[in-house]
Every structure is written in C-alpha cells, then in structure tokens.
Amino acid sequence: MEVEDLDYVVVPVGMLVLLIYHVWLLYTIIRYPSRTVIGLNAQSRYQWILFMMSDPLKHGILAVQTIRNNIMASTLLATTAITLSSLIGVFASNDAETKLVFGNKTSLNYSIKRLSISLCFLVAFLCNMQSIRYYAQVSFLITTPAFKGKKDFIDYVAKTLNRGSYSWSLGLRAFYLSIPLVLWIYGPIPMFACSCFTSFLLYFLDTTTQITRELHTKSFMEIEIEDVDVTS
C-alpha cells in the first residue's frame, strides 16, 4: 500500500471503531439503562425531580441553584466550542505544512481535516446551546407545585431535565471525538491509535459496576407519585 493511500483505509477504520462503540452504547442505554452511567444518571435525576417537586416551597431554591450550575457548565462548554471552531478557521489560512506521520499531504486533505474538526466543535456548540434551553425551561417548571395526581406533569419535567442532560452529554461527546480528528492532522496512524484508545477509555467512563448500581438504588427513596400533595 502506498503511503498516500493510508488516509483512505486507516481513517475509515478508526471512525468505524468509534461508530461501533457508540452504536453499542446507544443499544445498551435503551435496553439496559442501569448498566450505563447515562441511563443510571437519568433514573437518579427522575428521583431528584420527585423529591424537589414534593415541596417546591422548601426545595425550590436548591433546585434552581442546581439547574443554574448546570447552565453554567453548558455555557462554558458552548463558549469553548465556538472559540475553538473560530481558531481553526483562523489557522486554516496558514499554509505552513505540518509534519505528517505518513499520510496524504495534499491541500485538499488538509481542508477536509480542518472542516471535520470545525464541524465537530460546531455540533458541540449546538448541543450545549440546546442543553441550556432545556435547563432554562426546567428552572421555571420545577418550582411549580406538584399537586396530588399530577404524575404526567412531573414526568414531563423529568423528561425535560433528562433531555437537557442528554444534550450536554452529546456536546461533551463531541469534544471527545474531536481528539482523534485533531491528531488526524499529524497523520492517519495517530488518528487510528487515538480512536482505539478513546473507545477503550470511554467504555470505562460509560459503563457501571454492580456495586455502583446497588449504591444508586439504595441512595434514593422510592417516592410514590400518589403521595405527593403540596399546597401553595
């Protein structure tokens, strides 16, 4: 195989490794949510919503402060993503040649690399902006008194909060995926090695152990929706 053809073979294989891992992760979240950190945290947030809305006059300030902290975290990531995307556009005008570890050295190849990284950061920016939108909506809904029998409303607030968290997770995931794309600038071999290492690392960050699942189960009380009765 010619050195210039490595980009057409090694890079797709690296992207395929990341794709297979995330397809498996999505399947596990849907079918066995408690085995993943994302699914387990979604269940914990639902229990947290039940507790906060059981007495909004007492827990309202704590709930709003917690949501505000999440908004600040999403704002930080969104600002970082759009800043990095802008910097890549500035450096794109620089024609200085990067020393490659093998790979295609054409100008078109450099343009594709920069475009891929920019799109990755733009996706991170949009996901974090969407996360801020959901969190801002929850900050209003969570202080609404949850009268007895309003299970549908509590479920709606919990789903909105989880959608905000899912958007934040997608934005953070885009940051993770940008690392192999950045190393692609130095050649397809570093990109492929980083793709395999990133998938291996994300597996330990995304999955849970039996001990973790038991701790989460014991740390949250089961709150029956029918018993929630709050007066304004």
pLDDT at 147: 56
With 90 as the cut, is the pLDDT of residue 4 above it? no
The 3-state secondary structure of 64-121 reads: HHHHHHHHHHHHHHHHHHHHHHHHHHHHCCCCCCCCCCCCCCCHHHHHHHHHHHHHHH
**What pLDDT band is residue 108 in, cutting at 50, 70 and 90?**
low
Which residues lie closer than 8 Å to 123 by C-beta, 6 or more apart?
170, 171, 174
- pLDDT tens for 46-104 read 888 888 887 777 888 888 899 999 999 999 999 999 988 888 877 655 555 555 555 55
Domain ranges in the chain are 9-28+35-93+100-220
With 70 as the cut, is the pLDDT of residue 228 above it? no
**What pLDDT band is residue 23 in, cutting at 50, 70 and 90?**
very high
CA 88 to CA 100: how far, in whole Å?
18
